[in-house]
């Protein structure tokens, strides 16, 4: 069976996607064809201009949502091939519109077409719904008001909760940090809003991953320590990224994690002594996000010896649902005997 190839066919103003098992492509101009694809050997995505007598340009310019960059010619292989970096592929997939600039014409690259050709194995083959609007008000650290032209919508960031919405600020925290960080990034900016499975919450607010240029605001707030992860099913598309960024913020004591009395994962760990026989509790399930019903207490962090610390979270604790466990315990005594101390929240 011949491999499936996604081909983009160039016409004077728009690049259309067709699906074929052959390499034939319609001509955009005499002797010239344009396609996009993936190199099976390297996994690199590319733009290719091919055809009898087709010109080889030293560079090609691309622009997505106003951001423009240049692709350099890389090789001649059934046409002139211009490779894209992984970051640029992600930028293109997350943009509303991209354009390819040739010396004699501009070509619109439709978002749905690029997703059909380039979406990875962990992504849907269809582009997630997206809207573009203007921020007219920053309500709090994870909510904005956006003008969509024909209406205004309150938009809640997916996957995160800011400090002031999660709990009262601690004495060490600077009031309004999350609000100020959010305002700094999005106030009066044009934003792109990418939706997940559920488009609205029970209060009728839109739920979105919000982008300014190529930066996802949800992720940046977590990276700065201005917000923490709060997963609400079924909107989990970028959960792994957000969890990783929260751990980075905790390790580096950024923002809300700067309180020295709040333990964080050590960035360097002394070799652990062999204490397996003395360990209490059982390993966590579902990659650390769930504990068995008989051992509901979460013990967080991987280091229990060599100077590290463990914190235990009770099921009714404020941070329980947002905490990833390394071990689970039936009783507080078991957790304490395993070296854990009570969480502050």
DSSP string of 106-128, one letter each residue: EEEEEHHHHHHHH--TTS-SSPP
CA atoms within 13 A on the CB side of 288: 12
Given 48, 83, 111, 164, the catalytic residue: 164
Long-range contacts of residues 212-216, Cβ cutoff 8 Å, at least 24 apart: 212/185, 212/186, 213/65, 213/66, 213/67, 214/67, 214/91, 214/94, 215/185
Please give the Cα distance from 278 to 282 (Å, whole number). 12
Whether 240 is a known active-site residue: answer: no
Catalytic residue list contains 156: yes
Provide φ and ψ at 177, rounded to 5°. Answer: -55, -50
Catalytic residue among 90, 99, 153, 205: 205
CB atoms within 10 A of CB 201: 14
Tell me if 256 sits within 8 A of 229, measured CB to CB.
no
Query: 198 — phi, psi (to 5°)?
Result: -100, 125
Catalytic status, residue 172: no
Place of tokens 């609000």: 179
Q: For 165, which DSSP code?
A: H
Residues 6+ apart with CB under 8 A from 336: 312
Name the phi and psi angles at 127, rounded to 5: -70, 135
Which of the residues 45, 48, 111, 156 is marked catalytic?
Answer: 156
Q: Which residues are identified as catalytic? A: 156, 164, 205
């Amino acid at each position: 069976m011949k491999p499936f190839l996604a081909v983009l066919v160039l016409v004077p103003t728009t690049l259309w996607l067709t699906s074929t098992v052959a390499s034939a492509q319609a001509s955009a101009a005499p002797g010239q064809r344009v396609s996009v694809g993936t190199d099976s050997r390297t996994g690199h995505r590319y733009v290719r201009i091919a055809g009898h007598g087709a010109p080889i340009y030293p560079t090609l310019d691309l622009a997505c949502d106003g951001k423009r960059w240049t692709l350099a010619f890389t090789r001649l292989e059934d046409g002139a091939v211009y490779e894209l970096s992984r970051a640029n592929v992600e930028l293109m997939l997350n943009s509303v519109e991209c354009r390819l600039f040739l010396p004699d014409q501009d070509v619109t690259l439709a978002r749905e077409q690029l997703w059909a050709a380039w979406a990875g194995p962990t992504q849907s083959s269809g582009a997630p719904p997206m809207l573009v609007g203007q921020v007219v008000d920053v309500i709090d650290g994870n909510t904005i008001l956006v003008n969509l032209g024909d209406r205004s919508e309150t938009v809640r960031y997916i996957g995160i909760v800011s400090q002031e919405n999660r709990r009262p600020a601690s004495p060490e925290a600077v009031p309004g940090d999350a609000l100020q960080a959010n305002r700094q990034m999005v106030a009066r900016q044009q934003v792109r809003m990418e939706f997940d499975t559920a488009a609205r919450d029970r209060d009728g607010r839109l739920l979105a991953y919000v982008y300014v240029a190529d930066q996802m605001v949800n992720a940046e707030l977590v990276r700065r320590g201005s917000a923490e992860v709060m997963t609400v099913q079924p909107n989990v598309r970028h959960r792994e990224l957000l969890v990783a960024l929260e751990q980075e913020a905790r390790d580096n004591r950024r923002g809300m994690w700067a309180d020295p009395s709040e333990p964080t994962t050590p960035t360097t760990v002394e070799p652990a002594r062999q204490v397996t026989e003395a360990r209490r509790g059982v390993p966590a399930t579902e990659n650390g996000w769930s504990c068995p019903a008989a051992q509901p207490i979460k013990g967080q962090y991987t280091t229990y010896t060599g100077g590290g610390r463990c914190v235990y979270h009770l099921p009714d604790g404020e941070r329980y649902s947002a905490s990833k466990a390394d071990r689970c315990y039936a009783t507080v005594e078991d957790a304490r005997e395993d070296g854990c101390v009570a969480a502050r929240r």
